[in-house]
Amino acid sequence: MPSRWEMFTAGNISRGQRMKKTFSLVLLLLLNGCAIAPHIEWKESKPEPEWVTQMKKDSNYFYYRGSAVRAETLEIGEKAARQNAFSQVSEYLGTTLESVYEGETTDHSQDIKDTIKARSQALITKAETIDSYHKKMTRIDKNSMTERYDVHVLIRYPKEEAVKERKRQDEEVHNNVMAAFDLYKKGKNHLAAEEYQPAQKFSHEALNILAKVKGTIPLGKGNVANSLELESLLRTQEQEAIMNIRRVVAWVQETSLDKRQDPSHLATQMKATLSQHGFTVLDQRLAEETGTGPTFTAAFKGDKSILSQLKKNGVQFLIVGQVSTAFSSTTMKQHFFDAQGVLRVFATGSGDTILTLPINHRGYHRDRSRASLHALEEAGEATGEILAKEFLKREQQ
Asked whether residue 325 falls in the same domain as residue 378, the answer is yes
Confirm whether 9 is domain-assigned.
no
Residue 202: per-residue pLDDT: 95
Give strand ranges (E) for 99-246: 128-140, 145-158, 218-221, 224-226
Q: How many CB atoms lie within 10 A of CB 136?
A: 16
Of the pLDDT bands very low, low, confident and very high (cuts 50, 70, 90), residue 50 is very high
Confirm whether 31 is domain-assigned.
no
CATH number of the domain within which 316 lies: 3.40.50.10070
Asked whether residue 95 falls in the same domain as residue 123, the answer is yes
Of the pLDDT bands very low, low, confident and very high (cuts 50, 70, 90), residue 112 is very low
- Could you give phi then psi for residue 91, rounded to 5 degrees? -65, -40
Asked whether residue 259 falls in the same domain as residue 332, the answer is yes
- What is the extent of the structural domain holding 92? 42-160
Average pLDDT over residues 82-96: 83
Asked whether residue 270 falls in the same domain as residue 391, the answer is yes
Confirm whether 225 is domain-assigned.
yes
DSSP conformational letter for 52: G
- Return all residues near 285 (Cβ < 8 A) that are at least 6 apart: 293
Residue 87 has pLDDT above 60, yes or no: yes
Higher pLDDT residue, 8 or 397? 397
Residue 188: per-residue pLDDT: 95
Confirm whether 168 is domain-assigned.
no
Q: How many CB atoms lie within 10 A of CB 211?
A: 10
Reported as half-sphere exposure (CB side, CA atoms, 13 A), residue 113 has a value of 11
pLDDT digits (tens, 9 = 90+) for 138-173: 999 888 899 999 999 999 999 998 888 888 888 989
Yes or no: say if 299 and 320 are a contact pair by the CB < 8 Å rule. Answer: yes
Higher pLDDT residue, 285 or 126? 126
Asked whether residue 180 falls in the same domain as residue 238, the answer is yes
User: DSSP letter string over 13-44?
Assistant: HHHHHHHHHHHHHHHHHHHHHHHHSPEEEEEE
Confirm whether 308 is domain-assigned.
yes
Asked whether residue 250 falls in the same domain as residue 236, the answer is no
Nearest to 129 by CA among 72, 59, 76, 79: 79
**Domain stops at, among 160, 187, 210:** 160
Q: How many domains does the chain have?
A: 3
Residue 228: per-residue pLDDT: 94
Mean pLDDT value across the chain: 84
Residue 37: per-residue pLDDT: 77
Confirm whether 25 is domain-assigned.
no
- Could you give phi then psi for residue 323, rounded to 5 degrees? -150, 145
Residue 103 has pLDDT above 90, yes or no: no
Confirm whether 15 is domain-assigned.
no
Of the pLDDT bands very low, low, confident and very high (cuts 50, 70, 90), residue 106 is very low
